[in-house]
Amino acid sequence: MANRQSRCLRLVFATRNEGKVAELTALLKETCWAPERLPPSFGNYEETGETFADNARGKALFASAQLSSPVLADDSGLEIDALGGEPGVRSARYIDESLSQEERNKAVLDKLSDTPVELRTAHFFCHLALALDNDIVHETTGRCSGSIGLAPRGNQGFGYDSIFIVPNLGLTFAEIRLEDKSAQSHRGAAMRAMVEFLGRWPPN
């Protein structure tokens, strides 16, 4: 990558989720890629895929068809074993799209109210898709396993972070710093793999 440090390459994040933007940007800070947000006037992509990979590819291609720069799209979510894998690909819209995330977290905890601690296992998944010229160039995935707490804890992060406990820390993602979360999280794992690819792409 050192031979390209003199020029900065644009990379558009196909998301309006500020939490995701912050995490992805932090993981690019030691590279020669300059992250950019979607233009304010950019339309929304309707997530209809059955998997995280389907949605990430769809978002990447939707944005790439309208932009000349490389586009990086993320789809991620939480799967809870005791709920048969819910909320899954509907993590951001679980139960009812009109709910706030706080209400959504409460709904999850209510569903697990009779579930013992040892059966509250859960997994965060992230799929990243890189697109250019309306074509998928590279994809990476990340997974983080843990458990669902008995109540929300912490005020960092976003989404289900406040109820997801990282086993080796005993803390929720909402209780740890961004850099510590990135070292443990599904998105951090997927992004580190993507950064490794970006270090040798595009070919000279």
Q: Which of 21-25, 125-129, 200-204 has the highest mean pLDDT?
A: 125-129
Mean pLDDT, residues 56-71: 95
pLDDT tens for each residue of 120-142:
999 999 999 999 999 999 999 99
Q: What pLDDT score was predicted for residue 94? A: 95
pLDDT value at 4 more than 60: no
Query: Annotated catalytic residue: which of 74, 75, 81, 110?
Result: 75
2 pLDDT tier (thresholds 50, 70, 90): very low
CA distance 140 to 193: 6
Do 86 and 115 meet the contact criterion of CB atoms below 8 Å apart? Answer: no
Strands of 33-37's sheet in order across: 33-37, 9-13, 71-80, 121-132, 135-148, 164-166, 171-172
Q: What pLDDT score was predicted for residue 164? A: 98
**Active site (annotated) includes residue 75:** yes
40 pLDDT tier (thresholds 50, 70, 90): confident
Task: Give the predicted TM-score (pTM) of the model.
Answer: 0.90
The b/e string for 72-99 (b: 16+ C-beta within 10 A; e otherwise) is bbbbbbbbbbbbeebbbbebbebbeeee
SS3 content of the chain, % helix, strand, coil (to 5): 35, 25, 35
In this structure, the strands spanning 121-132 and 135-148 are antiparallel
Token readout for 90 is 């509907």
CA distance 124 to 80: 9
pLDDT tens for each residue of 84-101:
999 999 999 999 989 999
Q: Which of 2-16, 31-45, 153-167 has the highest mean pLDDT?
A: 153-167
7 pLDDT tier (thresholds 50, 70, 90): low
* Structural domains of the chain sorted by starting position, each given as residue range(s) with its CATH number in brackets: 2-198 (3.90.950.10)
Q: Chain-wide mean pLDDT for the chain?
A: 92
CA distance 204 to 200: 9
